[in-house]
Amino acid sequence: MAVTDSLSRAATVLATVLLLSFGSVAASHIEDQAEQFFRSGHTNNWAVLVCTSRFWFNYRHVANTLSVYRSVKRLGIPDSHIVLMLADDMACNPRNPKPATVFSHKNMELNVYGDDVEVDYRSYEVTVENFLRVLTGRIPPSTPRSKRLLSDDRSNILIYMTGHGGNGFLKFQDSEEITNIELADAFEQMWQKRRYNELLFIIDTCQGASMYERFYSPNIMALASSQVGEDSLSHQPDPAIGVHLMDRYTFYVLEFLEEINPASQTNMNDLFQVCPKSLCVSTPGHRTDLFQRDPKNVLITDFFGSVRKVEITTETIKLQQDSEIMESSYKEDQMDEKLMEPLKYAEQLPVAQIIHQKPKLKDWHPPGGFILGLWALIIMVFFKTYGIKHMKFIF
Amino acid sequence: MAAAMPLALLVLLLLGPGGWCLAEPPRDSLREELVITPLPSGDVAATFQFRTRWDSELQREGVSHYRLFPKALGQLISKYSLRELHLSFTQGFWRTRYWGPPFLQAPSVWINLGRSSVMSSQGSSAPLSTSSTPPTQSLPLPPSNPWVWPMTLTTTFCAMLCCRGRWSAPKTSPPGRSSCPVVPRASLISFHLLQAGLSVLLKADRLFHTSYHSQAVHIRPVCRNARCTSISWELRQTLSVVFDAFITGQGKKDWSLFRMFSRTLTEPCPLASESRVYVDITTYNQDNETLEVHPPPTTTYQDVILGTRKTYAIYDLLDTAMINNSRNLNIQLKWKRPPENEAPPVPFLHAQRYVSGYGLQKGELSTLLYNTHPYRAFPVLLLDTVPWYLRLYVHTLTITSKGKENKPSYIHYQPAQDRLQPHLLEMLIQLPANSVTKVSIQFERALLKWTEYTPDPNHGFYVSPSVLSALVPSMVAAKPVDWEESPLFNSLFPVSDGSNYFVRLYTEPLLVNLPTPDFSMPYNVICLTCTVVAVCYGSFYNLLTRTFHIEEPRTGGLAKRLANLIRRARGVPPL
């Protein structure tokens, strides 16, 4: 009996221990899941996509930016979180044989312009000053919301730039340049103002690697399409449109991104392998020393997509309709109708009124500046010539 | 009895709120309309109008519930106390001479808003003219920053308006109205519309492949009823497109909805109270052999439009018989007999504008106004806004009609202020019958500051179109417009007096070259001077300071060389 007792007790103890361990395993499983929730450390995603060249023969830069825009939108980042800057309007350019379209593949396979593109900065507004103001947040108060980068310290930002560049600079619209030092300083300002959690910088220009050489702020990962001394080449011309449609690096990046969906687990190391020298002719480069996480743990969707973490609850919430407010506003309306006197439309071209207008008297302003100085000079000369004794007759 | 009472009560209760809901009129309504007009030159013009009427007094009450009227626009109106807002973006030019006067007139870009403070704008053409009553409370906008509400416009309509400077207030408009000249470079990239009803036909790839297209938004207050005791707000969104018949029709002048828009109509918009297509068949009625419209129209509408009597075939999408016959409605027009190649009828008023002169220092701006009416003369209001960098010489302003000088009945000129305000020239000119009036003024081109040049200055700088407003005598007397019953295209610029109709024409925008510096010169100068300095001074320096040493040939092995190295370090002559 004692044996069975002890056995049963042992069995129960064992059972409870097992149960507890299961429970803790299950609990730790949920905790693991919860841990994974916050693994990457960011809560929202932003994208700043910049095309810096104008004129028709730089069609490919606009197509580059629009194809990245399209991928980023498809993977979940909404228009309100994308700042798209295009320096020229290719879709409505009079030289475009297919208006309202921008193609990225020859034979007009893929129209990256689409029906719902929202360009935030366009044409003459794409300047170095505006770009730096967007990044650092020092924007005039009248700027509308869609033109601002409203990121916080939990935002992952993707910055994509394309255009013509050289060793240490990127040309904006054929009239000004941004240097790698300015860009690095802008990122440092963003870091000090805590405007980003992690930043991915991609640049597709000639000698693009020179642009990320000077970065010194933490949590920045950078990719470039070519090393210093190399040119980034364009991909394929289209005989119907007459210009080159895309750059090689971005073309292969776009192909890579077309296979990503919001749930994919592809990491940054795969992105580094995109476009080897055999396809790209130039050598793409990357820089990860400032980045704290290991690139193989960084998902592509951490920057290119906006994967929302959702919590599902099973409680229902009832919404009440407030009928008293509606009733009172209608009553007010009916009362107001009786009080106003009738209105009438203005005349379309009141010729008689126009002809007999009296010129409005302008407000009198006291003379200032030049006129005042001139008169002071004249008076001074007069009194010096004719003597001060005339003063009492004047004043 | 006892059972009937609660039943009656129940019925009353049900009818009570229901009845109350039915008794009150709808707060807003949407009407949509498409008018297809074959133009005298063979092209086809299609005009879409979507009109939302909202019975609410935005200025006085705080509105929070928006249904059909867009919230963004309603908030704009109430926040900035606007009275009227007219904004349109146009690509192409309406050729009045060949196409006749348009229903919906618009220059390259025309923005027409109303504010009580006077603001003027520079150069680029987007006529922003607004009129408003002075607000009872203080302006929400600090006067140092007049750009807030045009900025909100740019984002609402996804466009870029390059206005640098202040707005100008023409004198002839009611006080408080200010206008900004047209912005030629403001481009509208895309527009989003619900894909139901008539907006199914709006696909960007076909619409931008046209000779002319213009999108506009007009917001204005209208009388709510015939007594006009209260106002309601009217929002009209319009789109005018001119299809070149020879591109779409493959050589013949036939057209069909499918060929023009690559789509057909399937169903009316569920939110619209009226959804109609009007086709201009004026030539059809005169002679049944000329053309054939398919499907045959059930009703026609006749009225005096823009001075001439016209007949329209009506296709009502809300009429179930129309849509039920076929799943889609594709209106087609076929010319049975090719129309005679007669000259298209010339409209009574049309205008032309050009820049003449040579060189980059001066030029002359000329506007030709044609009055082709055989016996009636009428006045025309000409509004010119010229950017400040074309310095006008007003003493050279000459107006000649039929060879003789024509003095304007009213002239107002506001000179430009550099970088602040453009020139504003307004004149009321009487055009004699059957004549050409030439208005010309000479100008000088200014040199801009280095940083003021755009990145592509050799393209040229735009001069906004002149605006001509006139009451043109009509051939047939028209009756006043009934706002609710008449079609929308008749009530956009309604006739106030049947003997003439109001027309607002725009001339071509002009492109002038300013004396543009060569921007590569600083780079060239630096290269050249550095080269010259390096060659001259460098040679001179070498000549003065270069000395020659005799170098012994190296003999000996490694040890000797090492020893020499050490000796050189010590300062001792080598072995």
Apex B342 CA angle, B336 and B346, nearest 5: 120
Model confidence at A3: pLDDT above 80: no
Q: Before B295, cis peptide (omega within 30)?
A: yes
Q: Which residues of A are annotated as a binding site?
A: 79, 82, 118, 120, 206, 232, 234
How many CA atoms within 13 Å lie on the side-chain side of A111? 13
**The pLDDT value given to residue B60:** 60
Which range has highest mean pLDDT (A17-31, B143-157, B416-430, B481-495)? B416-430
Looking at the DSSP assignment, which residues form a beta bridge with residue B473?
A: B500
What's the rounded mean pLDDT across residues B472-495?
77
Contact list, A332 vs chain B (CB under 8 Å):
61
Closest CB to A355: pick one of B207, B231, B409: B409
The neighbour count for residue B274, using CB atoms within 10 Å, is: 18
Give the residue from B469, B467, B445, B463 showing the smallest Cα distance to B386: B463
Angstrom distance (rounded) from CA B536 to CA B370: 68
pLDDT at B368 over 90: yes
CA distances from A309 to A38, A41, B185, B386 (A): 9, 12, 43, 56
Res A94: pLDDT: 84
Quote the CA–CA distance of B147 and A182 in Å, as a whole number.
29
Under an 8 A CB cutoff, do B428 and A119 touch?
Answer: no
pLDDT at A40: 66
Name the minimum distance, in Å, from the CA of A350 to any CA of chain B.
9
Q: Tens of pLDDT along B402-420?
A: 989 999 999 999 999 999 9
Tokens of A258: 């077309």
Mean pLDDT of chain B: 75
In the block, residue with structure tokens 């220092």: B361
Please list, residue by residue across A350-385, b when 16 or more beta carbons sit within 10 angstroms of its beta carbon and e when fewer do.
ebeebeeeeeeeeeeeeeeeeeeeeeeeeeeeeeee
Task: Read off the pLDDT band of A25 (50, 70, 90).
Answer: low
CATH class of this structure's domain A44-304: alpha beta
Percent of residues, chain A, with pLDDT higher than 90: 43
| A336 pLDDT more than 60 | no
CA distance B201 to B261: 6
Question: What is the structure's pLDDT at A221?
Answer: 95
- Which is more confidently placed, A197 or B221? A197
Across residues A39-59, what is the average pLDDT? Answer: 89
pLDDT at residue A217 tops 90: yes
Label residue A325 by pLDDT band (50, 70, 90). Answer: low
Token look-up 């240097």 returns: A179
Q: What is the mean pLDDT of residues B70-99?
A: 80
Predicted local confidence at residue B121, as pLDDT: 24
pLDDT score for A61? 95
**Are B379 and A351 in contact (CB < 8 Å)?**
yes
Q: Do A348 and B229 touch (CB under 8 A)?
A: no
- Per-residue pLDDT at A67 exceeds 90: yes
Output the 3-class SS for B476-518.
CCCCCCCCCCCCHHHCCCCCCCCCEEEEEEECCCEEECCCCCC
CB A222 within 8 A of CB A214: no
For residue range B258-284, what is the model confidence (pLDDT) as tens digits?
A: 888 888 887 777 788 888 888 888 776
Residue A268 has pLDDT above 60, yes or no: yes
Mutate to test the interface with B, among A51, A65, A345, A349 (most CBs of B within 10 A): A349
Chain A interface, mutation test: which of B58, B93, B208, most A Cβ atoms within 10 Å?
B208
Residue ranges of the domains in chain A? 44-304
Q: What is the pLDDT of residue B138?
A: 30
Q: Burial of A280 by CB count in 10 Å (0-12 exposed, 13-18 middle, 19+ buried)?
A: buried
List the single range of A158-172, A274-288, A317-331, B327-341 with lowest mean pLDDT: A317-331
Enter the tokens of residue B210.
Answer: 């046209």
Q: Measuring CA to CA, which residue among A307, A308, A304, A309 is closest to residue A70?
A: A304
Residues in chain B with CB shorter than 8 Å from the CB of A103 are: none
Lowest-confidence segment of A48-57, A198-207, B302-311 by average pLDDT: B302-311
Q: Which residue of A has its CA nearest to B91?
A: A92
Dihedral in degrees, nearest 10, Cα atoms A105, A106, A107, A108: 40
B303-308 mean pLDDT: 79
More confident call, A253 vs B484 = A253
Q: How many interchain CB pairs under 8 A, A with B?
A: 113
Distance between CA atoms of residues A327 and A323, nearest Å: 6
Over range B177-200, report the average pLDDT: 50
Q: Which of A139, A61, A144, A73 has its CA nearest to residue A102?
A: A61
Q: Has residue B288 got a pLDDT over 70? A: no
Flag whether residue A357 sits within 8 Å of chain B, measured between CB atoms.
Answer: yes
Where is pLDDT greater, at B261 or B186? Answer: B261
Report the DSSP beta bridge partners of residue B512: B461
Q: Which residues contact B157 (CB under 8 A, 6 or more apart)?
A: B87, B89, B188, B217
Contacts of B173 (CB under 8 A, 6+ apart): B129, B131, B179
Token representation of residue A127: 């300047």
Question: Is A115 near chain B, with CB under 8 Å?
Answer: yes
How high is the pLDDT of residue B515?
93
Under 8 Å between Cβ of B209 and B160: no
- Check residues A321 and B23 and name the one with the higher pLDDT: A321
Q: What average pLDDT does this structure show over A156-180?
A: 93
Largest CA distance in chain B: 143
- pLDDT for the residue numbered B68: 78
Chain A residues 165-194 within an 8 A CB cutoff of chain B:
173-175
Per-residue pLDDT tens over the stretch B486-543: 777 777 777 777 788 888 888 888 999 999 999 889 999 999 999 999 999 999 999 9
**Residue B144 confidence (pLDDT):** 37
pTM score: 0.77
Cβ pair B471:A354 closer than 8 A: no
Helix axes A59-74, A248-258, angle to 10 degrees: 20
A344 touches chain B (CB under 8 A): yes
Give the DSSP letter of residue B523: H
Please indicate whether residue A164 is annotated as part of the active site. yes
The three-state (H, E, C) secondary structure of chain A, written as one string: CHHHHHHHHHHHHHHHHHHHHHHHHHHHHHHHHHHHHCCCCCCEEEEEEEECCCCHHHHHHHHHHHHHHHHHHHCCCCHHHEEEEECCCCCCCCCCCCCCCCECCHHHCCECCCCCCCCCEEHHHCCHHHHHHHHHCCCCCCCCHHHCCCCCCCEEEEEEEECEEECCEEEECCCEEEEHHHHHHHHHHHHHCCCCCEEEEEEECCCHHHHHCCCCCCCEEEEECCCCCCCCCECCECCCCCCECCEHHHHHHHHHHHCCCCCCCCEHHHHHCCCCHHHHCCCCEEECCCCCCCHHHCECHHHHCCCCCCCCCCCCCCCCCCHHHHHHHHHHHHHHHHHCCCCCCCCCCCHHHHHCCCCCCCCCCCCCCHHHHHHHHHHHHHHHHHCHHHHHHHC
Which of A51, A105, A206, A235 does the annotation list as catalytic? A206
**Mean pLDDT within A256-282:** 89
Chain B residues within 8 A of A345 when measuring between CB atoms: 223, 496
Q: CA–CA separation, B514 vs B462, rounded Å?
A: 10
Query: What is residue B69's DSSP assignment?
Result: S
Active site residue A51: no
Which amino acid, one-letter code, is at B187? S
What is the b/e burial string over B430-464, where b = at least 16 CB atoms within 10 angstroms of the residue's CB? bbbeebbbebbbbbebeebeeeebbbebeeebbbb
pLDDT at A339 over 90: no
Residue B571 tokens, joined: 């300062």
Q: Is the pLDDT of residue A193 over 90?
A: yes
Highest mean pLDDT out of A121-125, A241-245, B304-308, B528-532: B528-532
Given the structure tokens 């969707």, which residue do they identify? A301
Residue B228's pLDDT is 79
- What sections of B115-242 are H helices per DSSP? 148-156, 204-207
- State the best of B187, B232, B520 to mutate against chain A, taking most chain A CBs within 10 Å: B187
Residue A73 CA to residue A84 CA, distance in Å, equals 11
Show which of residues 51-110 on chain A sit within 8 Å of chain B, judged by CB atoms: 54-55, 89, 91-92, 98-101
Res. A322 pLDDT band, cuts 50 70 90: low
A290-316 pLDDT per residue, tens: 999 889 889 999 899 887 767 677 877
- Mean pLDDT score of chain A, rounded to an integer? 84
Residue B424 backbone phi and psi in degrees, to 5: -125, 120
User: What band does B178 get if pLDDT is binned at 50, 70 and 90?
Assistant: very low
Predicted pLDDT of residue B408: 92
Residue A374, chain B, CB below 8 Å: the answer is: no
Window from A288-292, A366-370, B375-379, B462-466 with minimum mean pLDDT: A366-370
Q: What pLDDT score was predicted for residue B33?
A: 87
Element (H, E) at B462: strand B461-463
* pLDDT over 50 (residue B198): yes
Nearest CA in chain B to A101: B205
* Nearest-10 Cα torsion for A242, A244, A245, A250: 180
**What is the signed CA dihedral for A265, A269, A270, A274, rounded to 10 degrees?**
150
pLDDT at position B114: 40
- Write the pLDDT tens digit of every residue in B219-249: 888 887 777 788 888 888 888 888 887 665 5
How far is A115 from chain B, CA to nearest CA, in Å? 7
Q: Give Cα B372 distance to the centre of its chain.
A: 27
